[in-house]
Structure 1
Amino acid sequence: MLQNIRDNSQGWIAKTIIGVIVVLLALTGFDAIFNSAGNDNSAAEVNGEKISRYDLDQAVNMQRRQLAQQLGGDFDASLLDDKLLRDAALSSLVERTLLLQGAQKNGFDFSSQALDQLILQTPEFQVDGVFNAARFDQVIQQMGYSRLQFRDLLKQEMLIGQLRAGISGTGFVTEQQVDNFARLEMQTRDFSSLIVPADSSAVTPADDEIRKFYDANAERFRSPEQVVLEYVELNKEAFFDQVEVSDEALQELYQKQIANLSEQRRAAHILIEGNDPKAKSTLEDISKRLQAGEDFAALAKEFSQDPGSASEGGDLGFAGRDVYDPAFEEALYALQEGQVSAPVQTEFGWHLIKLLGVQSPEIPSFDSMKPELVRELKAQQVEQRFVEASKQLEDSAFEASDLAQPAQELGLTVQTTPAFPREGGEGIAANRQVIQAAFSDEVLVDGANSSVIELDPNTTVVVRVKQHLEAKALELDQVRDAIVQQLQRSKAAEKARSEGEELLTKLRDGQVVERQWQVVEAATRNQEGVQPAVLQAVFRMPKPAAKDQPTYAGMSLANGDFVLLRLNGVNEPEQALSDAERDNYRRFLASRAGQQDFAAYRQKLQEQAEIERY
């Protein structure tokens, strides 16, 4: 069984690695989730393995950023429940820890060489289709990772992925299950429908009904408590025009940066796994054939045991230093273009290495890099000025009774927000910290300026309440139209349902309803032109006892209409499944069974684990 799981765990890698990298790339600006923080305060303990509060904080940040990315402009930070977010993040960390423990317990591993291949073949780390070490460093540094941290996290993702794919890949179904599922899936149904419309225009609520509804739902008809804020905003970008950099400093930085550009070498190799004499002897035989004039790429395709490069003739693409095993790298950098090394031993086995090409870095001109250099040098001064200005804003806002003094001292403009409730609003009013400050006792009740609030790494604000609008009951005249529409919809839907159920009773009693039925023949489960809710109801209806004995059902629709359904017949598939159809159904059912197996495995890990949350 374990071997089957391992076998099934191999095909998932190419499908998931890009997704893993893309997610990591999207969530820039924070340290590695499982980076060591030197924090002994634990958030939880799983089978003796601790999850630190630092890990939890980073996971919460990740979830918050993921939500912001997924929702885009619709993201409203004020609606996030921090406790729910934290509980969800901790549950995710606990499950991740359990899965890593499960992978290790079951002997899964992901070699350093396999990690190298993933990194080399990831498009986000390539320039013009070729791995670029400088690009790799730039990307992972943007994410807050060192090379070692990134490789550790990537290995963890691969181990969990192996475990998931391995267990899911062992799911299987019988041919009888395939036949039964296909029979139900390919079944069609003949039915007719009759709509009893909910006509809101035919309903005129009486004044006493409107008043009664208003009185019974008074809490629904209140304007929310709102505030109007004044605020001053300090933006880091504004400081860039206030600082200067010297030509000498620019030249010094330019020379430093071009010195970091490194040569790239394109390697190909033939790998024979194992470090025993037999592996070395096999590679020596291949080396003799190369010396006799045989083609390196052809021999790599025939003999190399590196699954990532064998089909490409052993080609590993371009890479700089500190990517390969030290012994491999030393041999590679000793070669001239076109040369093949003697057998080289690494922890992965024995290699023959060929240097396919050398790519010298293109040195950009000073003028082309000058804007970037200017910004980088200015950024160092700007950061210091921004910190100092933020501190000055904090002190001035604390001492002042309004925002006029801080604005004057720092050359800022006092701005005003539209009124917004405790749920938040637009602009800075969408920021959770701003909302909390605005409705805090210190700012709302005492009338004080807030402390400095960081909207993002480049922007801070101080707010104060300009106007407090208490919640109050809305007059009946203000909400009369909304109440009328609500009563019209509900009474029309009630009338349609009553009439529809009366007709349904007649139909089931064998009476004829002389109405215009909409006929649908051989409807499938995803029949176009039929509402999904109607289709679900049709396929739940019992099969008619005979052709002249249809079954009936009825249901209310979301718009208030009532629909009567008459099931005339159930059609079983007549043709046998083709091989392609059977394979598709088998794969689908096996995949579903595998997912259920993995869900059961996760549940078992939870049940058997010793988990303590602090």
Structure 2
Amino acid sequence: MHLRTAGWLLTITVLLLAPGFAASAKEVPPAIQSESQTTGKADKERKSPVIAARVNSQKITTAELDKRVDQIMQRGQQNPAMGPPPDRDELRVHVLNQMIAEKLLLQDAVKKKMDVDSAKIDAEMTLIKGEGRSDAELAEMLKQSGMTPNDLRHVIRSNLTVEAYIDSEVASKVKIDEQQVSDFYEAHPRYFETPEQVHARHILILLKEESTEEEKTAAETRVNDLLARVEKGEDFAQIATDNSEDPGSKFKGGDLGFFPRGMMVPEFEEAAFALEPGRTSKVVKTNYGFHIIRCEEKKEVRKTPLTEVSEKIEHYLRDQEIGRLLDEHIASLRKSANVKVSLPQS
């Protein structure tokens, strides 16, 4: 969970409506006020919050930390592609380090008198509010997250201030030349290869696993009759439209479009890639049933020319270098700061 320019800013944006971050964003002067100015009353109203870390004069409470961790865990549960959830205690350590880094960056930005004008904040507020949503509706939405529109403005100001700071202190120092781009292209050829693909149509006669022998015989007879019609020269697409039992391609004349290896079940893939354009397979049996496959065209393996990907490579290398320098910059800020971590177990 290292901080990267894009990833770090994305994390802030995703957590824009998090009350914990809204509170921390309001702690820094001048437009983002100091902790001593804003939190004294709140400290009196809540009894001795448990401190996870102190960053110079500012604190991170375990309540703020756990809210951030809960949000990350919740996003992971909503997106199975992220894989199994991490160990919570380990995640808390990573998130706390991220929150410390956020404070260090924001504090140094304020020290260097970086700020953003109100017009940019207004534009972000308008973007978040979205079309057709009134100010009252936005306020109600924020209320559900324990925030007010003024809290949101503070968060936006913090985000934009840090973004400007990173651009000035880190990103402006990164230069990627043509040789670096060319070296990366030559060192990673597989990144720029388009795999072999086949454009195929098929006719499917479904066969369920629990089908009786009589049903299997009937399905096989039917698909062989259709194959005979195809081999006599009847239009493959029309036969597919009239007879195929694949709802995804039936009304497209059985058209499956282009696909690379690894997309279809093995028996189907082997038959499709073995065909030459314009040729039709014999009956192919898979766990779905009986297929007749027609190869329309093929695309051989192709390496994308450097001229077509140089800009993407440059952006990638730039992001990687910004991330590396940002990590170093945060480490330097932390070394010279008064950071005390006292993370209790959840």
- Write 1 or 2 for the structure with the bigger share of strand: 1
Normalising by structure 2, we get a TM-score of 0.49
Normalising by structure 1, we get a TM-score of 0.29
- Write 1 or 2 for the structure with the bigger share of helix: 2
